């Protein structure tokens, strides 16, 4: 009987995906889930009740996934009361409370449900432990940028060499020379936790250490990138995890495989304001800079005003996503935003959430002022839009360095938030350096497209991934 079950499981593998409960990983994991559905696998998507309600309210995922008979959503509580904030300062609460709920849930579902492979977010190190404990295969999916993941993988060495925690002077321009491949590149100010003074007490440093310790305990590692973008880094990462699948850009891989059927659709946790597209329709080609700081990053009111005046003074049109929780430690006032916008009606348009992929693909968009979240970066590359980077934390700080210095597809503002500097970088992006930056990003975009086409590196990596999942029995 057991033998029969194993054969059946091998014939139709059952994958359980478990994303970090925030927008960016939910996007990437849903894209991966849909790719698995297209490959004929049985798929369970484990989401938090809170996020599932938002997804159902603001998107058509429910009907979209209904067409796949072997797909199901499962939900669990994230352990927080409904009205508890879940944005960045409260992120720690969310991670801890979810772990308390998810651990027993995973033990139960994995012993009962015939799941043959779990794909948790890289941050869920405990899911890897549970899989090993109950004998189910596990492949981690690190949804952050691979350049940051490589820095994480070097943490033990950096602690040994005394590079971290930072001590002594406060020189943020000091190079960190012990990350292979980044010897002349990575400054303290580009480090994921750039004010790191104590590794033992810094929550995010501890999480990163647990995350990298779980990588060798997984069967493989999935990354949302492509060989022509991150090849040298992938070689380094493969020295720790030989079975690394670079399957990105995932949204483009999905779009390409769905090409004859339909375009991929939104996975937004917020309601998308499509009036942004109508506004863009009325603007000249490549005349608008799109401004968005993703789903979690916050600004102080002072920073917000510097950005506003810098943008206005540049004379360039802009479309700005101002989430209602964009302001740090302050009540977001719609009145305040209204007053700002009233002063610059012809050239500025504000929404609280946009259909970002559509916005970036719009011909009126000439550039992207971004927080350098990994999905935003990949989407900008695919849509051939050069970037200005205002990195706030974690992987964004490393990614923005790569955007400016390695890929040369944007300008890294790193820590200098004053209106004169903002005015200058906006003009540089949209006028002075436009051609140069556009040429580099066009080339990367073309390589991204090739990578997901039949026979391309990401296309093949996905095929290998599916084959390997089929081989992994219980
Ligand atoms: C978080 C972390 O902040 C980031 O460092 C890490 O790389 C990924 O997780 P997030 O703020 O969600 O990222 O940014 P990002 O990775 O850029 O993802 C945001 C997603 O939301 C994108 O897919 C983007 O298309 C979407 N989005 C954003 C919208 O659909 N509309 C918007 O108005 C803004």
Residue identifier of the C-alpha nearest atom 27 of ligand 1:
356
Q: What is the pLDDT of residues 408-452, one digit of tens each?
A: 999 999 888 999 999 999 999 999 999 999 999 999 999 999 999
Nearest residue (by CA) to ligand 1, atom 34, is 294
ipTM, two decimals, is 0.98
Does the pTM exceed 0.90? yes
Is the peptide bond between 165 and the residue preceding it cis, with omega within 30 degrees of 0? yes
Q: What is the mean pLDDT of the chain?
A: 92
The number of the ligand 1 atom at minimal distance from the alpha carbon of 28 is 23
Ligand 1 in reach of 357 Cβ (< 6 A) = yes
Element (H, E) at 207: helix 203-214
Query: Which pairs from 58-67 meet CB under 8 Å and 24+ separation?
Result: 58/266, 58/268, 58/269, 58/270, 58/271, 58/272, 59/265, 59/266, 59/267, 59/268, 60/265, 60/266, 61/30, 61/265, 61/267, 64/265, 65/33, 65/34, 65/37
State if residue 146 touches ligand 1 by the CB under 6 angstroms criterion. Answer: no
pLDDT, tens digit (0-9, with 9 covering 90-100), for 350-396: 999 999 999 999 999 999 999 999 999 999 999 999 999 999 989 99
**CB distance 224 to ligand 1 below 6 Å:** no
At 446, is the secondary structure helix, strand, or coil?
A: helix
Nearest atom in ligand 1 to the alpha carbon of residue 379 is: 25
Per-residue pLDDT of 187-243, as tens digits, reads 999 999 877 778 888 888 888 999 999 999 999 999 999 999 999 999 999 999 999
Distance 356 CA to ligand 1 centre (A): 9
Q: Is 42 in the pocket of ligand 1 (CB under 6 A)?
A: no
| Ligand 1 within 6 A of CB of 445 | no
Query: Ligand 1: does its nearest atom lie under 6 Å from the Cβ of 298?
Result: no
């Amino acid at each position: 009987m057991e033998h029969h079950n194993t054969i059946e499981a091998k014939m139709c593998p059952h994958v359980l995906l478990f994303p970090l409960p925030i927008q960016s990983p939910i996007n990437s994991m849903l894209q991966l889930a849909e790719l698995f559905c297209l490959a004929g696998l049985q798929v369970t998507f484990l989401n938090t009740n809170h996020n599932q309600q938002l997804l159902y309210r603001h998107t058509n995922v429910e009907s979209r996934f209904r067409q796949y008979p072997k797909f199901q959503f499962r939900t669990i509580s994230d352990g927080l009361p409904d009205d508890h904030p879940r944005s960045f300062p409260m992120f720690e609460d969310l991670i801890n409370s979810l772990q308390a709920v998810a651990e027993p849930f995973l033990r139960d579902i994995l012993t009962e449900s015939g799941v043959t492979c779990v794909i948790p977010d890289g941050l869920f190190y405990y899911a890897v432990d549970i899989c090993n404990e109950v004998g189910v295969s596990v492949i981690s999916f690190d949804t952050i940028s691979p350049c940051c993941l490589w820095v994480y993988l070097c943490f033990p060495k950096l602690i040994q060499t005394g590079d971290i925690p930072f001590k002594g002077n406060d020189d943020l321009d000091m190079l960190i020379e012990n990350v292979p491949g980044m010897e002349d590149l990575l400054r303290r100010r580009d480090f994921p936790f750039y004010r790191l003074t104590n590794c033992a007490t810094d929550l995010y440093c501890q999480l990163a250490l647990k995350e990298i310790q779980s990588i060798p305990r997984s069967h493989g590692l999935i990354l949302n990138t492509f060989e022509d973008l991150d090849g040298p880094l992938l070689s380094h990462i493969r020295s720790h995890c030989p079975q690394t699948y670079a399957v990105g850009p995932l949204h483009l891989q999905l779009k390409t495989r769905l090409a004859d059927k339909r375009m991929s659709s939104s996975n937004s946790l917020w309601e998308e304001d499509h009036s942004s597209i109508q506004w863009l329709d009325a603007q000249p080609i490549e005349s608008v800079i799109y401004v968005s700081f993703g789903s979690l990053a916050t600004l102080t009111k002072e920073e917000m005003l510097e950005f506003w005046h810098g943008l206005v003074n540049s004379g360039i049109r802009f479309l700005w996503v101002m989430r209602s929780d964009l302001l740090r430690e302050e009540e977001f006032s719609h009145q305040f935003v209204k007053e700002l916008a009233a002063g610059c009606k012809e050239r500025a348009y504000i929404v609280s959430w946009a259909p970002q992929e559509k916005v970036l693909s719009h011909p009126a968009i000439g550039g992207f002022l971004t927080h350098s979240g990994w999905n935003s970066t990949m989407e900008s590359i695919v849509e051939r839009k050069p970037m200005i980077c205002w990195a706030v934390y974690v992987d964004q700080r490393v990614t923005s360095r790569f955007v400016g210095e390695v890929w040369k597809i944007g300008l890294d503002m790193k820590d200098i938030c004053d209106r004169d500097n903002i005015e200058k970088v906006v003009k540089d992006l949209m006028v002075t350096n436009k051609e140069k930056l556009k040429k580099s990003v066009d080339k990367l975009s073309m390589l991204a497209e090739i990578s997901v086409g039949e026979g391309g590196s990401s296309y093949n990596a996905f095929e290998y991934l599916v084959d390997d999942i089929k081989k992994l029995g219980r």
